[in-house]
Structure 1
Amino acid sequence: MTIASLYIGATGMKTHSQGMQVIGNNLANINTVGFKQSMMLYQDLTSLDVTTGGNNPTVGMSQQGMGASVAEVRVLHTAGGFEPSNTVTDLAISGKGFFQVAQGDKTHYTRAGNFRFDLEGYLVDPGGYRLQAKPIENGVAGGLQDLQLVAGENGNMVLPPSATTSLSIISNIGVTSDNSASATDPYFSLLQQWNGTAEPPLGDGAYGHSDSIAVYDAAGNKHEVSVYYDGAPDGPDGQRIVEYVMAMPPSEDGGAGAGTSAAGLLMAGTLTFNANGELINMTAYTPSGDASQLSSWQPAAMGADGYPSFTATFAGSGGGAQVMTAGFGMTGTGWTGGGSAASVGSNASQLPGLAGAARQARVTTGYEGSSSNLHRTQNGYAQGGLMSLAIDSEGVMSGKFSNGQVVDLYQIPLFRFTSEFGLRREGGNHFSATRESGEAQEGTAKTENFGSVAASTLEMSNVDASREFVNMIITQRGFQSQSKVVTTADTMLQKALELKR
């Protein structure tokens, strides 16, 4: 059995040599981004039954081992330490998730988040694998694809212009006097005094307060929309009524009323306040024909957001008619009663009611005293170039553009596996799924146990140098002892051969 001892010692030397390779690989990657250390586990080889002689019934319990072999090289997926970075596309995962990267038909998974944009605008790792993410359009994430920022002519990503579709002007309307009184149509006296061929179309003494907001056409050109307010006869029960006209500069009107006295007119109506200055009703009218005729002004259509809508055609915009909604802080579903503006006359009870009226958090008020502009907002913008990127803990990449817009661009999903130990190393800090690992399960950062994303951060290797040095000594001692077995067995064999001489 001395010859068998040689082979047993050889298996031990080979196995410990492989163990040293694992230790060496761990130490070689101690500074590798996202590297996961390995641990080698040993197992014994097949044992042989040993005959003990006599009638010993426990002969089956007497066995002799035949050496050692590698049972498993296990990857330890514990998290490594985090290191801050100055690059926003350096990403780390706090939790169990993996990033998905792809190149051609190859799909891999990695914890190494040192990504950079290449010349084509793809976000890639050092091996050229592209990070997979979901593009976001209007707040909705699409299907998984290569994350790419498409550059414009100047080499920078461009956000196309977007036409204004809604605007909101919230003010306190403190006017009480009626500066543009009309005996026959006192709730539309501003509308009747408007003269689009004059400059200005309303004299300074014709109204009590005004406000303006910038809006954009489809080409990204900036325009101004103004609202003029004036007092009107009170309604029943101490209700205070204010009339208003919404208009653009007549010179910018590219619609049917261009060059006429109605040039620039967009919408007109009334705001009704109770004795406490709270908005309790409003009306809105838009022209359906000759805007210079009061009978052409009909109750405005309601937009999907619950605000009345109007149509504007800006000269030279090339975008044609542009529908917008205008809000004063009160939404509704339609109108109750009422006909054209001409049918109202001097009777406030002929003003239509706003069906399903609901005051919003920000709403126009009618506190007597000074008037003030409280809040303006609209959703259009001009073209803008990308200035900076940000990635939040949920993996949402957003871009800040030169036009002041912050837009969500991509959702970076994370992936997990039933058994991380079943993943196959592919080099480059990549892993691939196997039957043992199970299929990749997609999820969103900060949900379940997928983990969260940290931008401008890198996860470093999880190798513990002190533990590896201890393992190195143990492995070296094991190799040394097995080599001693070989040399001792060789000496014993030499002695046996000498007996024949």
Structure 2
Amino acid sequence: MPFRTALSGLNAASADLRVTGNNIANASTTGFKQSRAEFADVFAASSSGISSTAIGTGVRLSGVTQQFGQGNIDFTGNNLDLALNGQGFFVLTDGGSQVFSRAGAFQVDRDGFVVNPSGQRLQAYPPANAEGTSFSTGVLNDLQLDASEAPPRATTEVDATFNLSSNAADVSALPFDPSDPETFNYTTSLTTYDSLGQSHTATLYFRNTGPLSWESHLAVDGAAVGGAEPLTFNADGTVATPAGAVSFGTHDPGNGADLLDMEFDFTTATQFGAVSNVSALRQDGFTTGRLSSIEISDTGVIQARFTNGQSTALGQVALANFPNPQGLQQFGNNAWGASFGAGEVVLGSAGSGNFGAIQSGGLEGSNVDLAAQLVGLITAQRNFQANAQVISTADTVTQTIINLR
């Protein structure tokens, strides 16, 4: 009957309108993937499965499939906003179960966990070593930002690069007195740290004791440490002795911290005709630090930056992929769930295998082509009108038959 055929057409056009309308409604939804209504024709068949007529009996909705094309990336400036450029999904936990999403609008909850607006926690691989250069890819953890202070580290090594003037006067006849500038030729200082993170001023004094011969002294917070350490140079101005690091001895900071025991590397020092000067002083200690910012690389490595200039790797963002993403189960709230049709989940990290890169400070927009959807909206409307006209025509024909005398 043409009525049933046209009715199936009305239902198909209505479904097409709903799919198109949903796409248009989500044109600005972060991480949204547009859907496509797919239809199949219907033929009546006998019990043997062979079509009993060459005339079809309408149309049916065979499926609604999502199109996982790349959306545009909009930059936000928020480091916790993450966009995926390429394949893959963010891995999230929702009450202990895994869900997957392309929407990377993350924030920190009251407990320091990185979550999306639905409260689902972002998953990451924990660091496998203290340096944060490798990660345990067999373990997934909830990513948590630690707001506690970073512990201090006492200064143990100092690298000093300086020049002592070959024109300096010999002051070996005068006993060394740090308060008398006449008893030394050059001095420089730097800030060092004890095991409690308290800063101390370390001052180096250099005295010319003859041709190519010097001696160095150390004071910490004005208190002398150890005795004189000799420093000699070759005829070309390079260091002859010491060949390695120099230790002046230990110093008690007087605040309950461990004794300061610093080694000084003078092997890059020179004695040239230029005025005495220092070009570099580097020490390996630092004070306590508070979390100041989070940086996420294009491979998903999360670095916590502290106010003391140090950084710590907190983990690496985990990504997931599927052989057939169109088979994923839709949960809403920009989330999908694993399903038999999607295939086994494949876990990895950004920039490896077939996984895309992560863009920190950006969000992936919807991949809806609004112009194409509006054209599709007009097409669906015309289809609906045409099928309605079939019903009207069939009604006229039927009425004519009824009116036969």
Matches within 5 A, 1:214-225: 214-225=191-202
Structure 2: distance between partners of 1:73 and 1:436:
14
Residue 252 (structure 2) pairs with residue 314 (structure 1): yes
Structure 1: distance between partners of 2:395 and 2:228:
106
Q: 1:442, CA displacement in angstroms?
A: 3.8
Residue 377 (structure 2) pairs with residue 479 (structure 1): no
Secondary structure of the equivalent of 2:9? helix
Q: Report the counterpart of residue 237 of structure 1 in structure 2.
A: none
Kindly indicate whether the alpha-carbon contact (under 8 Å) linking 2:143 and 2:315 is maintained by their aligned counterparts in 1: yes
Give a deviation string over 1:376-430, Cα, whole Å, max 9, x none.
1122222223334443434344444333445544433444333332332221111
Residue 208 (structure 2) pairs with residue 211 (structure 1): no
2:197 is matched by which residue type in structure 1? G
Q: Report the counterpart of residue 326 of structure 1 in structure 2.
A: 264
Structure 2: distance between partners of 1:319 and 1:135:
32
Structure 2 CA distance for partners of 1:37 and 1:403, relative to 1, 3 Å: same
Q: 1:32, CA displacement in angstroms?
A: 1.2
Give a deviation string over 1:204-240, Cα, whole Å, max 9, x none.
3333222222111111101122333233556xxxxx3
Kindly indicate whether the alpha-carbon contact (under 8 Å) linking 2:295 and 2:302 is maintained by their aligned counterparts in 1: yes
Q: 2:171 aligns with which of 149, 157, 179?
A: 179
Q: 1:8 aligns with which of 5, 17, 29?
A: 5
Q: Report the counterpart of residue 84 of structure 1 in structure 2.
A: 75
Q: 1:230 aligns with which of 197, 207, 220?
A: 207
Structure 2: distance between partners of 1:447 and 1:310:
50
Kindly indicate whether the alpha-carbon contact (under 8 Å) linking 1:98 and 1:414 is maintained by their aligned counterparts in 2: yes
1:243 is matched by which residue type in structure 2? E
Structure 2 CA distance for partners of 1:60 and 1:19, relative to 1, 3 Å: closer
Structure 2 CA distance for partners of 1:204 and 1:366, relative to 1, 3 Å: same
Secondary structure of the equivalent of 2:386? helix
Q: Report the counterpart of residue 133 of structure 2 in structure 1.
A: 140
Matches within 5 A, 1:160-175: 160-175=151-166
1:273 is matched by which residue type in structure 2? N
Give a deviation string over 1:440-497, Cα, whole Å, max 9, x none.
4444434455333333322222212211111112122223333344444455556666
Secondary structure of the equivalent of 1:375? strand
Kindly indicate whether the alpha-carbon contact (under 8 Å) linking 1:43 and 1:68 is maintained by their aligned counterparts in 2: yes
Structure 2 CA distance for partners of 1:272 and 1:48, relative to 1, 3 Å: same
1:96 is matched by which residue type in structure 2? Q
1:146 is matched by which residue type in structure 2? D
Q: Report the counterpart of residue 433 of structure 1 in structure 2.
A: 338
Q: Report the counterpart of residue 159 of structure 1 in structure 2.
A: 150
Q: Report the counterpart of residue 350 of structure 2 in structure 1.
A: 445
Q: 1:43 aligns with which of 40, 45, 48?
A: 40
Kindly indicate whether the alpha-carbon contact (under 8 Å) linking 1:8 and 1:66 is maintained by their aligned counterparts in 2: yes
Structure 2: distance between partners of 1:16 and 1:266:
94
TM-score by length of structure 1 reads 0.69
Secondary structure of the equivalent of 2:189? strand
Identical aligned pairs, as a percentage?
Answer: 31
Residue 348 (structure 2) pairs with residue 468 (structure 1): no
Kindly indicate whether the alpha-carbon contact (under 8 Å) linking 2:186 and 2:276 is maintained by their aligned counterparts in 1: yes
Residue 396 (structure 2) pairs with residue 458 (structure 1): no
Q: Report the counterpart of residue 382 of structure 1 in structure 2.
A: 287
Q: Report the counterpart of residue 292 of structure 1 in structure 2.
A: none
Residue 312 (structure 2) pairs with residue 412 (structure 1): no
Structure 2 CA distance for partners of 1:96 and 1:483, relative to 1, 3 Å: same
Kindly indicate whether the alpha-carbon contact (under 8 Å) linking 1:389 and 1:400 is maintained by their aligned counterparts in 2: yes
- Segments of structure 2 that go 5 or more residues without pairing to the other structure are none
Structure 2: distance between partners of 1:125 and 1:45:
44
TM-score by length of structure 2 reads 0.83
Structure 2: distance between partners of 1:231 and 1:224:
23
Q: 1:126, CA displacement in angstroms?
A: 1.0
Structure 2: distance between partners of 1:232 and 1:434:
82
2:216 is matched by which residue type in structure 1? Y
Q: 1:16, CA displacement in angstroms?
A: 2.3
Structure 2: distance between partners of 1:273 and 1:117:
59
Q: 1:120 aligns with which of 98, 111, 119?
A: 111
Structure 2 CA distance for partners of 1:469 and 1:322, relative to 1, 3 Å: same
- Segments of structure 1 that go 5 or more residues without pairing to the other structure are 50-58, 153-157, 183-192, 195-199, 235-239, 252-262, 285-306, 331-362
Q: Report the counterpart of residue 264 of structure 1 in structure 2.
A: 225
Structure 2 CA distance for partners of 1:34 and 1:109, relative to 1, 3 Å: same
Structure 2 CA distance for partners of 1:13 and 1:450, relative to 1, 3 Å: same
Structure 2: distance between partners of 1:428 and 1:312:
61
Kindly indicate whether the alpha-carbon contact (under 8 Å) linking 1:12 and 1:67 is maintained by their aligned counterparts in 2: yes
2:81 is matched by which residue type in structure 1? D
Secondary structure of the equivalent of 2:290? strand
Q: 1:128, CA displacement in angstroms?
A: 0.8
Rg: which structure is higher?
1
Q: Report the counterpart of residue 244 of structure 1 in structure 2.
A: 216
